[in-house]
Chain A
Amino acid sequence: MKRKQPKHTPTTLPKSPTGITGLDEITGGGLPSGRPTLVCGSAGCGKTMLAMEFLMRGATQFGEPGVFMMFEENAQELTANVRSLGFDLDQLVAQKKILLDHVHIERSEIEETGEYDLEGLFIRLGHAIDSIGAKRVVLDTIEALFAGLPNHAILRAELRRLFRWLKDRGMTAVITGERGEGNAITRYGLEEYVADCVITLDHRVADQISTRRLRVLKYRGSAHGTNEYPFIIGERGLSVLPITSIQLDHAASAERIPTGIARLDDMLGGQGVYRGSSVLITGSPGTGKSSISAKFAETACRRGERTLIFAYEESPAQVRRNMRSIGIDLAPWEKKGLLQIHSSRPTMHGLEQHLVMMHDTVVAFRPSVVVVDPISNLTLDRGEAEVKPTLMRLIDFLKKQEITSVFTSLTSGSTAASAPEDSQVGVSSLMDTWLLLRNVEFNGERNRTLYVLKSRGMSHSNQVREFVLSEKGIDLVEVYLGADRVLTGTARVALETQERAAAELRAQDHDRKLRQLAAKRKALEAQIAALQAEGEAEEAEVNFAIAQETLQTRTTQQNFDAMAHLRGGVKGGNTRTKGKR
Chain B
Amino acid sequence: MKPEKPKQYELRLYVAGQTAKSLAAFANLKRICETHLAGQYRIEVIDLTKNPALAAGDQILAVPTLVRRLPEPIKKIIGDLSNEERVLVGLDVQPVMA
Contact = CB atoms under 8 A, between A and B. Distances in A.
Interface of A: 101, 103-105, 109-121, 123-124, 126-128, 145, 149
Given A103-B61, A111-B75, A113-B77, A127 B53 contact: yes
B14 interface: yes
A117 B52 CA distance: 16
Given A113-B87, A114-B79, 5 more contacts: A110-B77, A111-B75, A111-B89, A120-B63, A123-B52
Interface residues of B, number: 34
B75 A128 contact: no
A540 B61 CA distance: 153
Interface of B: 14, 16, 21, 24-25, 28, 48-49, 52-53, 55-56, 59-65, 73-83, 86-87, 89-90
- In the A-B complex, list the 7 residue pairs whose CB atoms are closest, starting with the nearest: A111-B90, A127-B52, A114-B82, A114-B79, A114-B80, A124-B55, A119-B16
A409 B81 CA distance: 72
Contact of A113 (B52, B61, B75, B81): B81
Contact of A111 (B14, B21, B28, B78): B78
A120 B77 CA distance: 14
Contacts of B59: 103-105
A145 B56 CA distance: 16
A128 B77 CA distance: 24
Contacts of A101: 56
Nearest to B84: A113
Contact of A112 (B14, B25, B73, B79): B79
A123 B16 contact: yes
Contacts of B14: 120
A120 B46 CA distance: 11
Contacts of A128: 56
Contacts of A104: 59
A153 to B, nearest CB: 13
27 contacts: A103-B59, A109-B73, A109-B76, A110-B76, A110-B77, A110-B78, A111-B77, A111-B86, A111-B87, A111-B90, A113-B77, A113-B79, A113-B81, A113-B86, A114-B81, A115-B21, A115-B79, A116-B65, A116-B80, A117-B62, A117-B63, A119-B62, A124-B52, A124-B56, A124-B60, A126-B52, A127-B56
Nearest to A158: B62
Secondary structure of the A contact surface, majority rule: mixed
Contact of A115 (B48, B76, B82): B82
A124 to B, nearest CB: 4
A78 B44 CA distance: 34
A115 B80 contact: yes
A109 B75 contact: yes
A573 B76 CA distance: 189
A535 B62 CA distance: 149
A26 B56 CA distance: 36
Contacts of B49: 123
A112 B74 CA distance: 15
Nearest to A124: B55
Given A111-B89, A113-B86, A120 B60 contact: yes
A120 B61 contact: yes
A120 B55 contact: yes
B78 A123 contact: no
A431 to B, nearest CB: 59
A123 B55 contact: yes
A520 B75 CA distance: 132
Given A109-B74, A111-B76, A118 B62 contact: yes
Nearest to B19: A119
B55 A127 contact: yes
A120 B16 contact: yes
Contacts of B65: 116, 120
A104 B77 CA distance: 15
Nearest to B50: A123
A114 B83 contact: yes
A572 B9 CA distance: 201
Nearest to A103: B61
A137 to B, nearest CB: 14
Contacts of A113: 77-83, 86-87, 90
Contact of A105 (B21, B61, B79): B61
Interface hub of A105, A110, A118 (most chain B Cβ within 10 A): A110
